[in-house]
Amino acid sequence: MQPGQQIVLEITDLNHAGEGVGRFSGLVVFIPFALPGERVRARVTEMKKSYARARLEEILSPSSGRVLPPCPSFGSCGGCQLLHLDYEHQLHFKNKVVENVLLRLGKLTEVEVKPILGMENPWHYRNKVRLHVAWEGRKPVLGLYAPSSHVIGHRIDRSPCYILDGQLNALARVLAGLIKKHAEMLAGLTAVSLRLAAATGETMVVLEGASEHYSRWKRLVDELTAAVPVTTVVRVGARGKEEVLYGEGHITDSLDGLSFRLSALSFYQVNPVQTSRLYRKVLEYASLSGRERVIDAYCGVGTITLFLARKAAQVIGIEISPEAVALASVNAAQNGLSHVSFVKGAAEEVLPELLAREGMFDLVVLDPPRQGVKQAALESLVRAQVPRVIYVSCNPATLARDLGFLSAQGYRVQEVQPVDMFPHTYHVECVAYLCR
């Protein structure tokens, strides 16, 4: 086999990124957009020692799960990878990814992986989008990047995004028109993020970029806020410095009876329907009686912390971002939860200190970024013999690595519940429950 060669092969699997996997002359071949059960013709694009990559050219016999992608940008936009696969098959694929990775990377042979919690309506679910501004000569174009590139793959003025909330699609269209109209004033604008608080309808627009002429961006803000309901507009400049251009600089959402203030850079789950199911699962595993002392590590603006606090005696949140910690404290106060506190710092430093200094905690919740939990934090759980741990993860590979470590150190992984937070993409969220 060599680059440029045409090959015909059967697709037997999908890899973690949703690409078709087959074999040719004994070598594994990855083919984006090919599906298991298909026989395809493909052209080899890359050869490595242990695998090859190829471009799909013709589907000789299609999979029963293949559907026509509704979005005209599918394939050229980096947002969705699975729009060609029907939703039931997507859910099945995600369950398999989790099972395989727990076995392969975590060496966990006896873990029960529950059937993934899918969405009843898996469309227009996202409450946030980051749109890039690409300058085609002097003309700015607003859209989503193509896969692994800095070229616009989906222009938001031409067609809506099928996984983005309808209100944000409408806002994005108006914004794209205004950006084109005011092109000469917007030098330096690189990206625009839109966020919706789905329960309250409040919206935030975040303009990103560096310019010597920010004052000129004001025209855009004036016209935008006159044309569509926008709650606040913020500019984020170099080193994450925020400047409020309109409104208060934050929006407020509510989830299961709790309200959360969010600012331009706060982490907040992007799928409100599934977030509620995810957090309820955490609460179910926590099975709190009201007497427990709990730590919520990687707590963001205090979302899971406050869910837990309604049922626990004490909850301490740990978070590295000072802005998120400040919002978490505001959120605790505005929900009237006074037995909650937050510590600013890295979980790998704060968690060992808290566990050594503050006596026994009944439960630790972990919800790290994609890199997973640092070794020092995991070791501190083992040392302190924390009886129960709940691990929320957006990356099955690091989840498997960390569960593998904890299970070798005396924890038993009772159950793993995948939750489909990101339909039509290869991403999968999980909640794992562990006991000593």
Ligand X SMILES: C[S@@+](CC[C@H](N)C(=O)[O-])C[C@H]1O[C@@H](n2cnc3c(N)ncnc32)[C@H](O)[C@@H]1O
Which residue numbers belong to the known binding site for S-adenosyl-L-methionine? 269, 298, 319, 367
Residue 18 C-beta: closest distance to ligand X, Å: 21
User: Per the residue annotation, which of 71, 77, 80, 394 is the catalytic one?
Assistant: 394
Q: Which of residues 256-295 bind ligand X (CB under 6 A)?
A: 267-269
Q: Which of 77, 324, 355, 428 is the binder for ligand X (CB under 6 A)?
A: 324
Q: Does 396 bind ligand X (CB under 6 A)?
A: no
Q: Which of 347, 354, 403, 430 is the binder for ligand X (CB under 6 A)?
A: 347
| Cβ atoms of 307 and 299 closer than 8 Å | no
Q: What are phi and psi of 377, to 5 degrees?
A: -70, -40
Residue 225: which of 245, 241, 239, 209 has the closest Cα? Answer: 245
Q: Does 303 bind ligand X (CB under 6 A)?
A: yes
Can you point out the beta strands (E) in 66-188? Answer: 128-136, 139-145, 152-155
Long-range contacts formed by 377-383: CB under 8 A, 24+ apart:
377/297, 377/347, 377/348, 377/351, 377/352, 378/402, 378/405, 378/406, 378/409, 379/352, 380/351, 380/352, 380/355, 380/356, 381/351, 381/355, 381/406, 382/406, 382/409, 382/410, 382/411, 383/352, 383/355
Residue 141 C-beta: closest distance to ligand X, Å: 31
Count Cβ atoms within 10 A of the Cβ of residue 66 and give its class: 0-12 exposed, 13-18 middle, 19 or more buried.
middle
Residue 305 C-beta: closest distance to ligand X, Å: 8
| Cβ atoms of 333 and 340 closer than 8 Å | no
Q: Which of 74, 125, 298, 422 is the binder for ligand X (CB under 6 A)?
A: 298
Nearer to ligand X, 29 or 365 (CB): 365
Nearer to ligand X, 35 or 325 (CB): 325
Q: Which of 304, 332, 421, 432 is the binder for ligand X (CB under 6 A)?
A: 304
Residue 315 C-beta: closest distance to ligand X, Å: 12
Q: Which of residues 217-236 bind ligand X (CB under 6 A)?
A: none
Binding map of ligand X across residues 397-426, x = CB under 6 A, - = no contact: ------------------------------
Residue 364: which of 378, 353, 374 has the closest Cα? Answer: 378
Q: Which of residues 118-147 bind ligand X (CB under 6 A)?
A: none
Count of residues for the chain?
436
Name the residue whose CB lies closest to ligand X. 300
Q: Which of 19, 38, 319, 402 is the binder for ligand X (CB under 6 A)?
A: 319
Q: Which of residues 186-215 bind ligand X (CB under 6 A)?
A: none
Point out which span in 12-20, 88-96, 105-113, 320-328 binds ligand X (CB under 6 A): 320-328
Q: Does 299 bind ligand X (CB under 6 A)?
A: yes
Q: Which of 276, 321, 329, 334 is the binder for ligand X (CB under 6 A)?
A: 321
Q: Does 254 bind ligand X (CB under 6 A)?
A: no
Residue 406 C-beta: closest distance to ligand X, Å: 18
Q: Is 161 a catalytic residue?
A: no
Q: Does 384 bind ligand X (CB under 6 A)?
A: no
Strands 128-136 and 139-145: antiparallel
How far is 165 from 144, CA to CA, in rounded Å?
15
Q: In whole angstroms, what separates CA 33 from the centre of its chain?
A: 22
Count Cβ atoms within 10 A of the Cβ of residue 115 and give its class: 0-12 exposed, 13-18 middle, 19 or more buried.
exposed
Binding map of ligand X across residues 352-371, x = CB under 6 A, - = no contact: ---------------xxx--
What are the distances in angstroms from CA 347 to CA 133, 276, 381, 430?
A: 35, 24, 11, 20
Name the residue with tokens 């994609």.
370
Nearer to ligand X, 211 or 276 (CB): 276
How many residues line the site for ligand X (CB under 6 A)?
19
Nearer to ligand X, 127 or 303 (CB): 303
Residue 405 C-beta: closest distance to ligand X, Å: 17
Nearer to ligand X, 70 or 240 (CB): 240
| Cβ atoms of 131 and 191 closer than 8 Å | yes
The side-by-side arrangement of strands in the sheet containing 128-136 is 152-155, 139-145, 128-136, 189-197, 202-209, 232-236, 242-246
Residue 137 C-beta: closest distance to ligand X, Å: 38
Q: Which of 151, 228, 273, 320 is the binder for ligand X (CB under 6 A)?
A: 320
Nearer to ligand X, 49 or 357 (CB): 357
Annotated binding site: 269, 298, 319, 367
Q: In whole angstroms, what separates CA 231 from the centre of its chain?
A: 24
How far is 38 from 290, CA to CA, in rounded Å?
53
Name the residues that contact ligand X, by CB under 6 A.
267-269, 298-300, 303-304, 318-321, 324, 346-348, 367-369
**Catalytic residue IDs:** 394
